[in-house]
Every structure is written in structure tokens, then in C-alpha cells.
Amino acid sequence: MSQTRKRRCVSECKYLDRSKCIQSPRCNYTDGATRKFCRLAKGFRMQRPDCKVVKTIKKRIARQQIGKFILENKERKTAQELKSLCSDSGACIAFGTNRAKITNFFKGFTDFQYVDPPIKSIGKPSNNGFVKEIKYKKNDYIAYAVLKSSAAADSDNLVYEYIVGQFINQQCRLYPCFLETYGLYFYKSPEKWRHVRDTQVITTNVLSDSLDFQKSINYAKMCHKSKYAAILIQHLKDVTPLEDAIEKSHPKSQETICYDLIYILYQVYMPLAQMRNNFTQYDLHGGNVLLYEPVKGKHIQYHYHIGDGKTITFNSPYIAKIIDYGRSFFKYNQKEKQANSQRFNPEDIYKKLCAEQSCNNTKSTCGSAQGFEWMTEPLSKENYFISSQVPNMSHDLRLMNDISAEIRKNKPKHKTATPQEKAMYKTITTQLLDLVEYGHGIKGDEKGYGTNVNKKLGFPNSINNVVDAERVLQRIILEDPLASIMNEQKYPQENKIGDIHVYIDGSPSTFSTF
């Protein structure tokens, strides 16, 4: 049986000499050591059956274009879904709902691909650093983060704060009162650091050109480049520091004190009591607790499931957020460390730092010139009983001690305050703030900066530590009928936007809409 032989295509270039081959736009000359010949150039091919020369359609480019179209279409659908589920990304991030989906949508926020200028300063540069608000926009969906940068080499070390932040990220699943930490960076040059520091409003996206993203911890760099470190943190717009909300000049300060303070403090001290052995914030004052109001004029109903069938329930318009972890103690348990070889506790970190020459090149204590002065131990009055290597379950009572003076200045006026408000103010001062024991072991004007640890439980007569704080607040919420009546009157059921459930058994917190 005979077979029809396929015609072999031979290009017009094959028999051309070098000079003519070079002149032909469709030909290419191969000038090798052993072989010299003319052939069709890349981008052309012969098409059967007539062997016509045609341009090549690159399959890879076509695949890339198709892939790009599919990806863009998928991203548009994700943006529409997020707008439907979470029109306000800040509220969803604060509640924890779809937080992972939002973060993934913006590729973790860390590569600055979706930054939408201008980049604005928040506050003024201080000894501890300077902060920039960053807006992200993708397919008309918007979210925010802040970039916190060091101001000086001996400022609280931001690489250490980033490491603490990775521990806190695990706690964000359990407790709504923490902020997530996204990324660690170093400025590429002192000039770029100065530009970001000194420019109040940056109109272009300079961040990817100014910062190097760090995929791992470099302990030598952590020391000798401490001044040029920066961290990217979750951001909620329009927050108010607790110290500002209760300041006498604030128009709603008395309202906040009488109706909201107990419940704000419970959001803070319930998690701190649960974490007393593996976390101390160590800089917990009124400026480091932020109040976020997701929907103006609405409130959330909180349910803290504290065991033995007991639930602490109350209403609050705010989600309280604890910030600034640069001095904090934290501790992974052995199982958590085994699950991730990059997890180190503070004592391990300090040993690694002190092994670095750049952290040990002065006559002062290891790391003190690089922002690690709070990592020394043991607890003593010289360091205000702060050590990032050991817990101090009494130190975070500083918040109550810090706001106490301002609250006492804000006594409700006889002519304008209701009898209920006056009575609630008395409860807050006599049954809560008067019980706080603070400043032990420190003399003079510095008593407000720290206290020696006191693990002995003082409840119900005194507040010696965060466990006592939670118990006293719990008692007021559960047993004071006036507190319950005022809370229900101020925040009626029809104005509720949803419920947050928090558990002590390790279950993630949940939010459900009303």
C-alpha cells in the first residue's frame, strides 16, 4: 500500500549567501565555528500545505494574556464580593470577619503594589518613631495600613516589635483587642529614610523604592541598622485614644466614663488576665488603647464565655485595640515552637543579639544602644520592673493608674448629670480605681511608670494584678444592677449591629450580624 509523502517546506532563506541573508527581514544568518547558514528568523514559520511564510503567534504570550484576563476577572469578582460582604474593610478586619480574604486580596499589603497615594503622616515624629498612613486600592476596594519607622538607633527596636507582632497575630484569632502586624522592612538608604520622615504628605508611591522587605530575621542587621527599621501594621481609620476620650475637654468625656469605661476596660483586661503567664504589654497607658467605632450610632453586643457556663454580656459602641508591642514579654509554648522553627522566645532572641558584635560594641549593656534596653533582667526599680524576658502580671495595671487622675478631674456636674451618672461615677472611682495597687518599689514622681510584680490575688479588696482587674470588672458588670440598667438603656437592642463571642477555651472569637 503506497503512502502519500508529505511535501517538505524549504524556506527562501536557505540558499542565500551571508550578505543577502542579512539584508532580508525574514532571514537570520548563523555564523558558527563549524556551521554557517541562512534560515528563517525567529517570529516567522512556514505554513502547510503551500509553505507560505507567516508570522508566529507566540503561544506563551497568548497564554499569559489569557491568564492575565482570567486573573483580572477573578480579582474583579473578589472585589465585588468583598464590597458586598465588607463595604468597610476596617470594620471587617476589626471584627475578624473575612480578614484573611481581605489580606490575601491585597497580597498581604507588603509589596505596596496597590498603594493609592498620597501617603500621609499621622502625628509628629517623636523619640519613638514616625508613622505614615497608607491607603490601598484595588478594583475600587479600599483598605488601610500604617508604616511605623524608627526615629533613632536607640528607639524601642522595631524588629523586636515585629517579632512580638507575629506572636500577637496568633492571638488576634482569639481576642478582638489586638492589631495584626503585616511586614518588616529596612530603608535602603539614610536619604530615603529622611525623605519619608520629613515629608508630611508624599504624593507618589515611593515605598517599594525606599524599603527592602525582610523575609527572615537577621540579628546582625537588627542591631547595626536599628535606626532604619520599619514595620507595617493593620490600621483602623478614625480611632480615638482612650486618654483623649476621657479628657475633660472632650465633649463626650463624662458620657464615655459613666456609660462605656467599664466595658472598654473589660475588653482589655479579660485577655490580659487569660494571657498573664505568656504576655505582658509593658507600656499600657491611655495613649496605647485605641477606641474604634465601626458604625456611628450603633453598638456591638459582647459575649465573653469564661467557663463553668458563665457568660459576661454587655453592649459597647467600641472595639478597644491595644497597640505598641516594642517592650512586651511574650512566650510560645513548646508545642507552638516545634510547629515553627522560626519562633523564638525573648530570652533566646536576647542571647542571639548579644552574640552579635554590633550589639555588644559599647561599654553599656548589651543592646541598649540599639533599642533593647528593656530586654535585660531581672525586674528592678531601675528598669521600672520591666523586662521583655519575664512576665509581670501587675505592670499592665498602669492603664487604670494612668487614667485615674483624669477621671477624678471629670466628676459629673451636679446641674447637668443624672443621678444614675453620679452613682456610676462613684462606682468607678470607689469600687474600681481606688482598689488599684501600683507603683510599689518605685519612689517619687516615677511611681506611675511601673510596679513590682504581685501575684497574690487581692480580690475583692484590692487589685494587685490583671487577674484581679478582670474579676473586679466582672463583678461590676454582673452584680451591679445600675450598670446593667444604664448599659441597656443607652444601647437598645434595635441599634445592635451584631454579636462578638470570645472564649477562654482556645476557640476563635466570632462575629455575627444582627
The set of residues, in sequence order, having a beta carbon less than 8 Å from that of 153 and lying 6+ positions away, is 226, 227, 369, 370, 371
Give the CA count within 13 Å in the CB-facing half-sphere of 241: 14
Q: 181, 234 in Cβ contact below 8 A?
A: yes
Query: Exposure of 197 by Cβ count < 10 A (0-12 exposed, 13-18 middle, 19+ buried)?
Result: middle
Instruction: Quote the CA–CA distance of 458 and 451 in Å, as a whole number.
Output: 15
Instruction: Quote the CA–CA distance of 427 and 433 in Å, as a whole number.
Output: 9
Give CA torsion, residues 235, 240, 243, 244, to 10 deg: 140
Give the CA count within 13 Å in the CB-facing half-sphere of 421: 18
Domain boundaries, the chain: 18-56
How many other CB atoms sit within 10 Å of the CB of residue 442? 18
Instruction: Quote the CA–CA distance of 172 and 393 in Å, as a whole number.
Output: 20
**Nearest alpha-carbon partner for 312 in 130, 110, 471, 117:** 471
| Phi/psi at 497 (5° precision) | -100, -15
Q: Write out the chain's pLDDT in tens, 514 residues.
A: 445 556 678 888 888 888 888 888 888 988 887 788 899 888 888 888 888 888 876 655 555 655 555 455 667 787 888 887 787 888 888 888 788 899 999 999 999 999 999 999 998 777 779 999 999 999 999 999 999 999 999 999 999 999 999 999 999 999 999 999 999 999 999 999 999 999 999 999 999 999 999 999 999 999 999 999 999 999 999 999 999 999 999 999 999 999 999 999 999 999 999 999 999 999 999 999 999 999 999 999 999 999 999 999 999 999 999 999 999 999 999 999 888 988 999 999 999 999 999 898 767 789 999 999 999 989 999 999 999 999 999 999 999 999 999 999 999 987 789 999 999 999 999 999 999 999 999 999 999 999 999 999 999 999 999 999 999 999 999 999 999 999 999 999 999 999 999 999 999 999 998 6
Instruction: Quote the CA–CA distance of 351 and 343 in Å, as a whole number.
Output: 14
**Nearest alpha-carbon partner for 158 in 109, 225, 235:** 225
Helix, strand, coil fractions of the chain, as percent rounded to 5: 40, 20, 40
Strands 299-307 and 496-503: parallel
Q: How many residues does the chain have?
A: 514
- Grid coordinates belonging to 16: 542565500
The one-letter code for the residue type at 335 is K
- Grid coordinates belonging to 393: 502580671
pLDDT, residue 62, reads: 54
Strands 279-280 and 299-307: unpaired
Q: What is the 3-state secondary structure (H, E, C) of 43-82?
A: CEEEECCCCEEEECCCHHHHHHHHHHHHHHHHHHHHHHHH
